[in-house]
Structure 1
Amino acid sequence: MKISLLIFILLSLCSVNAVAQKLYKFQDKQGIFHFTDKPPKAEQKGLEVRQLKVAPKQLVWLLQSDEERRPQYYIRNDYAGPVEVEIDFSERDNVRATPDLPRLFVIEPGKSDTLFQINAINERESSKLAVKYRYIIGSPLAHYRSTTPYLPPIAPNTSFQISQAFGGSFSHTDEQNQYAVDIVMPIGTPIHAARSGIVLEVEDDFFKGGTNKAYGSEANNIRILHDDGSMAVYAHLELEKAQVYPGLAVAAGQLIGYSGNTGFSTGPHLHFAVQINKGMALVSVPFTFIDQQGLAEEPAISAWLKGVAPSQMGHALE
């Protein structure tokens, strides 16, 4: 049997990390100019640093075994948490999969076991196939309902105004952001984890922002996975100021980064949302913040959000 194989990657619903580079320009003692993507080892007079465009970095891969006649397929997941993957044929001729495709798989971090195998229907004839896949971060949660209140993601004894709440007409109209909150604050304001969890993603390298919709995917952000499968997203953060990294366990109230104005934004603020994977799509869900009296309160537009110390909350945020 001869199998001609192509693997197509669909990223429309994927969560893709990004990697940025800097360009360093300096003149050495001999007067020669140097251009490099690595910082100079010693201090250089007249050093110029230019931020380069961020390049996407893929973290989920569909891989094939070396077996030529009956190849097997598995997923490598480089996230610190689970992903859901949908795999299907985009082209098939004289082949079948065991188990059959299309099929959904939930993949924990690392390399999965064999997911399926390809066999020829008639081994005397040539075969051809192409496989496509797409993935979404997080385990599927079809009937999720939040029961845990969240710590305001700001320092205790600070206060900032909510400019856009649930169903905000400017940019909270899609499923990912319907239940998001925008909190106005100066660039460089400390951002704290609203709930304990594991850091899944850190986008720290975007440096542009404004009302041009081309910036929509260029907001620095941190995504934290909670123990019930939900994920908090902290977005529009400052360039290269993340205080956490993927795989790190964080506690509620821990400093994780600083606010900024990156991505699609009308001004410096923090965008906060709680999302789940529902039907192979990221969907935001309602949540409440804990107020200074220890009561759960739904965020409201124009309200002033006040920081609360985790020690005041007992076990409510675990």
Structure 2
Amino acid sequence: MKYIFFILLSLTMPVSAKKLYKYQDENGHWHYTDQKPGEGQEYESRQLKSEPKRHVWLEKSGTRDKPEFTIRNTYYGPIEVEISFTERQNARAEPELPHRFVVEPGASDTLFSVTGASRFESWRFTLQYRYTLGDPAAKHRADTVYLPPVEPGKRFRITQAFGGDFSHHDEQNHYAVDIDMPIDTPVHAARAGVVMDVENDYFKNGTERAYKSRANSIRILHVDGSMAVYAHLALEKAQVYPGMRVEAGQLIGYSGNTGFSTGPHLHFAVQVNRGMQLSSVPFKFANDNGAPSEPRAGMWLSGLTTELSR
């Protein structure tokens, strides 16, 4: 007799928030709902704690004797997935696990199958998977010049640049900048691309470790496979949606003070996937004359109207 068991795990789970609406109808009855009342209805609202949502699933098909597995990726860009056994008895995979796969948006073709190593013995297994955004083959164009992600005609100061002492220590954020911006300041795309993901529902900030993954953000995939991250944005004010094509200089959202933050600002970084790890890469902003300039703490950035980068 053959037994098959699975464990399907996703290690990255962004979240979405909801609001609770309270209103009184014409009969004096109170209603509590997560659906916004109709136009003209007076109501009170309260932001609720975010609930997990998923972007990536490991799915099974095939037969009992030979289950086959695919990945469903709902990000608007590629991901790299590593799948491995956590337990196996008389089971083998083709190709052998652990194995890494690059999966484009949507449902993949069959990635691997599992069978019994010996048909005369029972077999069982459990699986786990982890994933990282981006294609590991992507190569950031080092000669790209980025527009300052600010409104044309406005100027804002960089408070923390590459290798900043406060929070730019890890690989994801070493080559990042923090730009001092009041809440609800317009944020513009620094480079053209496709919106890969939007986090729009966080409403708190702090310096506890838990807040490191709780910032509203927009991630834009560039033609060279690199990804720009605009973080700490305002609650529910994203002006773009996943899958949307944006041009350099286009309004995409508004600055805020969400996530791991001590005050209102915009965090900007360009990242690539290196070995199942998001890694920031150095970049240059266009200065007032359009010439490339490496960001430095204390530097003032001016919003430009000319599109310089693709």
TM-score range, shorter chain: over 0.9
Quote the residue 2:278 is aligned against: 282
In the alignment, which of 103, 115, 132 is matched to residue 107 of structure 1? Answer: 103
Quote the residue 1:31 is aligned against: 28
Please say if 1:41 is aligned against 2:38.
yes
Quote the residue 1:154 is aligned against: 150
Quote the residue 1:295 is aligned against: 291
Contact kept? 1:135, 1:280, Cα under 8 Å: yes
1:292 shift after superposition: 1.6
Please say if 1:163 is aligned against 2:182.
no
Instruction: Give CA deviations for 1:223-258 in whole Å, capped at 9, x if unaligned.
Output: 000011100000010111000000011100010000
> In 2, Cα distance between the equivalents of 1:95 and 1:185?
56
1:170 shift after superposition: 0.4
> In 2, Cα distance between the equivalents of 1:277 and 1:145?
14
1:58 shift after superposition: 0.9
Please say if 1:139 is aligned against 2:139.
no
Identity of aligned residues (%): 58
Instruction: Give CA deviations for 1:161-193 in whole Å, capped at 9, x if unaligned.
Output: 110000001011111111110000111111000
> In 2, Cα distance between the equivalents of 1:39 and 1:249?
29
User: SS of the counterpart of 2:213?
Assistant: coil
> In 2, Cα distance between the equivalents of 1:210 and 1:123?
56
1:142 shift after superposition: 7.5
Name the amino acid aligned to 2:273: N
Please say if 1:87 is aligned against 2:83.
yes
> In 1, Cα distance between the equivalents of 2:131 and 2:197?
15
Please say if 1:6 is aligned against 2:6.
yes
Please say if 1:202 is aligned against 2:193.
no
- In structure 2, stretches of 5+ residues that fail to align are none
Please say if 1:61 is aligned against 2:57.
yes
> In 2, Cα distance between the equivalents of 1:31 and 1:143?
62
In the alignment, which of 268, 272, 275 is matched to residue 268 of structure 2? Answer: 272
Q: TM-score, length-normalised on structure 2?
A: 0.96
Describe how 1:172-211 pairs up with structure 2 within 5 A.
172-211=168-207
Rate the CA distance shift 1:149–1:182 in 2: closer, same or farther, 3 A.
same
1:214 shift after superposition: 2.9
Instruction: Give CA deviations for 1:77-107 in whole Å, capped at 9, x if unaligned.
Output: 1111100000111110011011111111000
> In 2, Cα distance between the equivalents of 1:164 and 1:171?
9
Rate the CA distance shift 1:293–1:42 in 2: closer, same or farther, 3 A.
closer
Quote the residue 2:66 is aligned against: 70
Contact kept? 2:138, 2:224, Cα under 8 Å: no
User: SS of the counterpart of 2:210?
Assistant: helix
Name the amino acid aligned to 1:125: E
User: SS of the counterpart of 2:7?
Assistant: strand
Contact kept? 2:160, 2:297, Cα under 8 Å: yes
What is the Cα-based RMSD across aligned positions, in Å?
1.4
Q: What is the aligned residue count?
A: 310
1:309 shift after superposition: 1.1
> In 2, Cα distance between the equivalents of 1:196 and 1:56?
30
Quote the residue 1:124 is aligned against: 120
> In 2, Cα distance between the equivalents of 1:103 and 1:274?
27
- In structure 1, stretches of 5+ residues that fail to align are none
> In 2, Cα distance between the equivalents of 1:192 and 1:293?
19
Q: TM-score, length-normalised on structure 1?
A: 0.94
Contact kept? 1:203, 1:220, Cα under 8 Å: yes
